[in-house]
Amino acid sequence: MPEDEDPQPRRGAAAPAAPAEKDAAHWLRLADEQRRAGSHESALRFYSRSLEVDRTVVAGWLGQVQMLVQLGEYPQADVWAKKALEIFPQHAEILSAGGQAKCRMGALPEALAMSDGALARPGESAYRWLVRGEIILAQRERGDDHCFDKALILDRDWLVPLEAATACLFHNAPAKALKRAQEAVERGPASPRCWFIQGECQQRLGMDSAAAKSFSRVLELSPQHIEARARVAAGGGGGLLRRLGRLFGGR
């Protein structure tokens, strides 16, 4: 037998460690990373995985509903919000998530009632105010800016103004969306997602030169960003975007 072969474990040697089981917190971390990257389908999958490990994790239920909203699966989001409320009755954030789903479905009285219930619960959160702002915006009434501003005060995370911006875009308010996207860029200058949403807002407002610069910054931070490359390659009707398209390999 060759000298380096040893079929018997050495006395006192530690046995190989068993793979550590991934807990709910692990899947929630992955979900958050994907959410911040704008990969909502992957985030949804990871939120669901967290619930497979532990069905009592509120963040898993909440994130699942929120990602279904982001993916445009509003009836599904509504169903899962109801399921979550069976486990966590009158939970403020889940009420807000259900209200957001109702809002996107156009059921504004029901959305408002759920938001009222959320705001009546003890404590405060940025998400409650984000949803309230979106509902007011959908109603075409005044007060959405106050709600979004309050959300930004409660949480310094760049994801807060970013998701306010995407809500404004959904409700066809690109000028309001741009304001929030700029706040997101200010708070998260290293996030490609923030720059991309800012570019989207600028493009909708006909600000082609500014949009080109935003999409260019996305590609500097994330050269393989598929959506930004597509926008640059398409040109967007602006000369600068067309030049950037050639620079970054567009046709």
> Which of 172, 99, 173, 106 lies closest to 130, judged by CA?
99
Longest dimension (CA), the chain: 84
Q: Mean pLDDT of all residues in the chain?
A: 90
Q: Can you give the pLDDT at residue 5?
A: 44
Q: Which pLDDT does position 20 carry in this prediction?
A: 57
Task: With a cut of 60, say whether residue 240 has pLDDT above it.
Answer: no
pLDDT in tens, 44-100: 999 999 999 999 999 999 999 999 999 999 999 999 999 999 999 999 999 999 999
CATH code assigned to 23-155:
1.25.40.10
pLDDT > 70 in the chain, percent: 86
Structure tokens at 96: 């807000």
State which CATH number among 3.40.50.10470, 1.10.390.10, 3.40.47.10, 1.25.40.10 fits the domain covering 175-251.
Answer: 1.25.40.10
pLDDT tens, residue by residue, 179-231: 999 999 999 999 999 999 999 999 999 999 999 999 999 999 999 999 999 99
Structural contact between residues 135 and 111, judged by C-beta atoms closer than 8 angstroms: yes
**CATH 1.25.40.10 residue window(s) in the chain:** 23-155, 175-251
Q: What is the pTM of this model?
A: 0.85
What lies within 8 Å, CB to CB, of 183 at 6+ separation is 152, 161
